Amino acid sequence: MKITGAEALVKSLLHVGVKTIFGYPGGAIMPTYDALFNEPLLRHILVRHEQGAAIAAEGYARLSGTVGVCVATSGPGATNLITGIADAMLDSIPIVCITGQVHSALIGTDAFQEADIMGMTVPVTKWNYQVNNASEIPYIIAKAFHVAKSGRPGPVLIDITKDAQQGVIEFDVLQMAEFVNAAASTAAHIPQVPDLKFENAAHLINNAKKPYIFAGHGITIAGAEEELVRFANKTGIPVACTLHGLSVIAMDHPLYVGMLGMHGNYGSNVLTNEADLIIAIGMRFDDRVTGNLASYAKQAKVIHIDIDIAELNKNVKADVGICGDAKQVLTELYRHVLPNNHDAWIGQFKDYYKLEHDTVIHHQVTNQPGHMIKMAEVIALLSKKTNGEAVIVSDVGQHQMISARYYQFKRPNSHITSGGLGTMGYALPAAIGAKVAAPSREVIAIIGDGGFQMNIQELAVLTQENLTLKIIILNNEYLGMVRQWQELFFDRRYSFTNLVNPDFIKIAEAYSIRGVRVQDESELEEAIDKLLNSTTSFLLEVMVEKQGKVFPMVAAGTGVGDIRLS
């Protein structure tokens, strides 16, 4: 049949399995929006800022396990996507971003709302492509989705000129299927892992006295949570998680020993420098995990498993580097390793945890009469009330680290946050995307008063789409993490970190969202119950101590062995 390029775009999206898109219309993408008008099989969610569209697509992708999709117009619409695109690139999230572009004859003339989105997004996409002819659309869409999802996932941008959207082509469903197959054949080839690699890795594992598993986001991406637990149970090796690795193993599992990184658990970091073998799975030895590389794990042999060969030996030299899918690699490695236990070694983690508990954790979750509520109290109580089974979507800052430390995750794929880019304003749109992807799961956004105001307008989406999202604002009237650094490292020169905030409850009410503000600890439990029992979206604002700090902490430039408890 003969249809326009815009109609071909819509049909191509349906053919590759898209059910939901997040977007914002404008002049250069208007033909596509016209084609969407009569398409009941595609749910379009109207965000209030294009950054919200890209981040919502991330949240959708992370909880659905599929590719998230966002749409924007040319110029400022396209440039507003860039933060979300960069966020998806660093955190390996598969999204396809579709932007309108001015008529191909006008490209390069500084036409109205023209921007070189191709040049701007080269560094932050797996692939980008500009469509100038309607006939290209079906194959390019097929390829875009395959590139976004295959290998190490990531963002793809497709820029489509207005005349390509308006042009007429012959669309053939059978040919579209051929395009999907052709796109699959262009995938980057991941070499098969030689048996010798598994044998060498197993030899190190079977002979190690203090082996240590680092579990990263790649385990969630591969759907390898069961394989990880099975492998750990057989070998008796303790497991620590990166920030993005949280929830790949239940926190009450006897082999779970904490979170790695700048604000991770004390023993998890210190004992990195005592392990004789590190098995890093689906993680990239980010600087927030390693601290100063000059003093990092010099005594340990390293087995590094990652689907991206570029990550092997990039930051930390691997004695055995295995390029492959975590699920497949763990399945094969399981066959080669011997049953074992490392009770004495795990006992060291328990000793360090007791020290951390007595020095930090107990004081963070226990209030004293006359003191303001602490962030950790809120998260610990929330965890208890939800039995650790909610999806926690956190923004960036102190509350992010507190959520990671004190929510006791029980279910896989339950933790969503911005890791690599550290994007403030992330939680609300990401939680919207997550809730759309999994409407039956309890999705709770944990946000600071600073980050909340960066994408506060997306509250409108909750009302318009009739979504039931729970939001907790931990309000300390500061940019808390920056203030903490100013206190510790800048002689308490609090330069522009105090916030004069609006009335968040009234703003929520303006969007027809119920809300409650809590200042006294005696009101906290009842307020959390109201939040969790609400059948509509609900905002809980908790006024927390203004000068609270997150410890433990590995200060910038120091090593993991120098982690501070205070």
Q: What is the pLDDT of residues 343-359, one digit of tens each?
A: 999 999 999 999 999 99
H/E segment holding residue 123: none
Sign of CA pseudo-dihedral 362, 367, 373, 378: positive
Domain boundary among 162, 184, 206: 184
**Residue 535 pLDDT level (bands cut at 50, 70, 90):** very high
What is the Cα–Cα distance from 282 to 231, expressed in whole angstroms? 15
pLDDT digits (tens, 9 = 90+) for 58-97: 999 999 999 999 999 999 999 999 999 999 999 999 999 9
User: The tokens 């599992």 sit on which residue?
Assistant: 253
3-state SS class at 212: strand
pLDDT confidence bin for 371, thresholds 50/70/90? confident
Domain that holds residue 292: 195-348
**Separation of alpha carbons 12 and 180, rounded Å:** 10
In the predicted model, is pLDDT for residue 26 greater than 80? Answer: yes
- Picking from 161, 184, 207, the residue at the C-terminal end of a domain is 184
- Report the share of the chain in percent with pLDDT over 90: 94
CA 62 vs CA 36, 91, 356: distances in Å: 25, 10, 32
Tell me the CA distances in angstroms from 172 to 32, 137, 138, one per residue in order.
19, 12, 9
The string over 406-424, giving b where at least 16 C-beta atoms fall within 10 Å of a residue's C-beta and e elsewhere, is bbbbbebbbbbbbbbbbbb
Same domain for 343 and 427? Answer: no
Q: Do 334 and 425 sit in the same domain of this protein?
A: no
Do 35 and 175 fall into the same domain? yes
Asked whether residue 398 falls in the same domain as residue 487, the answer is yes
For residues 404 and 261, what is the distance between their CA atoms, to the nearest angstrom? 11
Asked whether residue 359 is assigned to any structural domain, the reply reads no
Q: Does residue 511 fall inside a structural domain?
A: yes
Q: What is the CATH number of the domain that holds 379?
A: 3.40.50.970
Q: Does residue 148 lie within any of the structural domains?
A: yes
392 with 499, same domain?
A: yes
**Element of type H or E holding 302:** strand 301-306
Answer yes or no: do 378 and 404 share one domain: yes
User: Is 552 contained in some domain?
Assistant: no
Q: Is 351 left (phi over 0), alpha (psi -120 to 50) or beta?
A: alpha
Domain-ending residue, one of 348, 380, 408: 348
Compute the distance between CA of residue 99 and CA of residue 112 in angstroms, rounded to an integer: 15
What residues have CB less than 8 Å from 527, skipping those under 6 apart? 516, 518, 540, 542
The values of phi and psi at residue 426, to 5°, are -75, -40
The residue type at 80: N
Phi and psi torsions of 105, nearest 5°:
-70, -20
What pairing do the DSSP bridges indicate for beta strands 415-416 and 320-323?
unpaired
pLDDT for residue 176 is more than 90: no
- Of 432, 374, 426, 435, nearest to 395 by C-alpha is 426
Asked if the model's pLDDT at residue 188 lies above 70, the reply is: no
With a cut of 80, say whether residue 315 has pLDDT above it. yes
Q: 54: which residues sit within 8 A by CB, 6+ positions away?
A: 22, 70, 81, 83, 84, 85, 87, 88, 95, 97
Catalytic residues: 50, 112-113, 162, 481
Structural domain includes residue 362: no
Question: In this predicted structure, what is the pLDDT of residue 194?
Answer: 85
In a domain, 190, yes or no: no
Contact 128, 58 (CB under 8 A): no
Q: Give the tens place of pLDDT for each residue, 229-265.
A: 999 999 999 999 999 999 999 999 999 999 999 999 9
What pLDDT band is residue 186 in, cutting at 50, 70 and 90? low
Whether 364 maps to a domain, the answer reads no
CATH code (residue 201): 3.40.50.1220
Smallest CA-to-CA distance from 212 within 293, 152, 288, 296 is with: 296
Q: Are residues 153 and 100 in the same domain?
A: yes
- Token look-up 């000068």 returns 547
Tell me if 311 sits within 8 A of 284, measured CB to CB: yes
pTM value is: 0.96
- Specify if 499 maps to a domain: yes
Report which DSSP code applies to 33.
H
Q: Say which residue the tokens 């609900």 belong to.
A: 538
**Radius of gyration over alpha carbons of the chain, in Å?**
24
As a whole number of angstroms, the distance between CA 213 and CA 240 comes to: 6
Number of domains in the chain: 3
- Same domain flag for 385 and 342: no
Q: Which residues contact 187 (CB under 8 A, 6 or more apart)?
A: 146, 147, 150, 151
Q: Are residues 172 and 47 in the same domain?
A: yes
Q: 457 and 419 share a domain?
A: yes
User: Do 201 and 169 belong to one domain?
Assistant: no
Q: Are 409 and 251 in contact (CB under 8 A)?
A: yes
- Whether residues 227 and 326 share a domain: the answer is yes
197 phi and psi angles, rounded to 5 deg: -60, -45
